[in-house]
Amino acid sequence: MAAVLPLAAGAADTEAVVVPEQDDAVASAVMPEDDAAEQSDDVDVYGIIFGHIGDSYEWHITDIGGRKISIPLPVIVRSSTGWHCFLSSRLEDGTGYEGLHISSSDRFDGKIVELDADGNEIRPFDISITRNVLALMISSILLVALILSCSRWYRRHDALSEAPRGVAALLEPVIAMINDDVIKDTIGPGYARFAPYLLTVFFFILINNLMGIVPFFPGGANVTGNITVTFVLAFITFMIVNLTTNRHYWKDIFWPDVPLWLKPIMIVLEIFGVFTKPFSLMIRLFANIMAGHCLILCVVSIIFIAAKIGIAIGTSMTIISVVFGIFMDCLELLVAFIQAYVFTMLSAVFIGLSRERPETGKS
């Protein structure tokens, strides 16, 4: 009984129950790593992972000799005293500037806040160029440059008489695969109206996923692993599905063709289904990419944690961690492509479902 109690207490938070003295040895024997880590300056794994997944007002590149090297990004804020526009380097280390400071409270951790008359923190209207915004801009510029240089080849050459070269040769099989296998087959006639959106969404998600895996600037920002970005993509799909549909879609939802005693259940289910399908699109992409980034960061953090423990375990864990990290990165490449493909395919399927005609052939 005495051996069980320290385990339960040791697993609890530090403000919890007092552990009896003779069981301290048991507790510290069971979890030596935690004690050692807490005493030295431990590797802040939580900070590393959530610093990468979250957003910030500067782009942190690296630490050289204890000094932080980062790119300060513009802060554009409309607080109670009007518009403010300055570089985020003025807000370093919690200092305030023009009444604004970066909060470290639980509710607004990491966000710019101002203090109102009662001393409470409130968030002003914030349209700063944060790291995610800058990464979105960079990947959008990259995407536009790729696609425009691809289309430039087609404008200058006759596609039927010669094979494409350069970027067009890279992108043509991918675009053809998405267009023919995914879009044309699932939507059927009239697919050309939706093909621009679906192809854009595929390449947008693919390029943002790939840029997230690149560890150095300008990659390395977690764009598609941010639920607001995936929410917008799923919302656009939701809008397109529900605004370009025909009457039969709504009839199938509100008065489905089932026996009368099933109709109440089916109507509720169908209305739920209208919202859960884009919701699952959003969560699937967000969770896959965020989980992949978390895993890779954990694997790399193991190197630093093990190095603090000792040299023998540090070396062996480094080798294992590097090998495992390479494997995880290759898996992330696959996941990047698969998630873009699945998002596009499911959006095409939903659009196709909303354009179905009944078997009688009326439109």
Cα–Cα distance measured from residue 199 to residue 344, given in angstroms and rounded to the nearest whole number: 8
148 contacts 167 by C-beta, under 8 angstroms:
no
107 contacts 120 by C-beta, under 8 angstroms:
no
Question: Is position 323 an interface residue for another protein (rule: CB under 8 A)?
Answer: no
Least gap, CB of 294 to another protein (angstroms): 9
3-state DSSP assignment of residue 206:
helix
Least gap, CB of 12 to another protein (angstroms): 3
Question: Is position 8 an interface residue for another protein (rule: CB under 8 A)?
Answer: yes
Contact segment (CB under 8 A) with another protein among 8-16, 24-32, 148-156, 204-212 equals 8-16
Per-residue binding string, another protein, 269-288, x by CB under 8 A, is -----------x--xx-xxx
Least gap, CB of 11 to another protein (angstroms): 6
DSSP states of 105-164 as a string? SSTTTTSEEEE-TTS-EE--EE----HHHHHHHHHHHHHHHHHHHHHHHHHHS-TTTS--
Question: Is position 338 an interface residue for another protein (rule: CB under 8 A)?
Answer: yes
Q: Distance between the two ends of the chain, CA-based, in angstroms?
A: 74
Where in 73-112 is the site for another protein (CB under 8 A)? 106
Contact segment (CB under 8 A) with another protein among 9-17, 58-66, 258-266, 354-362 equals 9-17
Pairing verdict, β 100-102 and 121-122: unpaired
3-state DSSP assignment of residue 63:
strand
237 contacts 278 by C-beta, under 8 angstroms:
yes
Question: Is position 50 an interface residue for another protein (rule: CB under 8 A)?
Answer: yes
Q: Which is nearer to another protein, 34 or 63 (CB)?
A: 34
Q: Which is nearer to another protein, 153 or 203 (CB)?
A: 203
Footprint of another protein (CB under 8 A): 1, 4-5, 8-9, 11-13, 16-17, 50, 106, 280, 283-284, 286-288, 291, 338-339, 341-342, 345
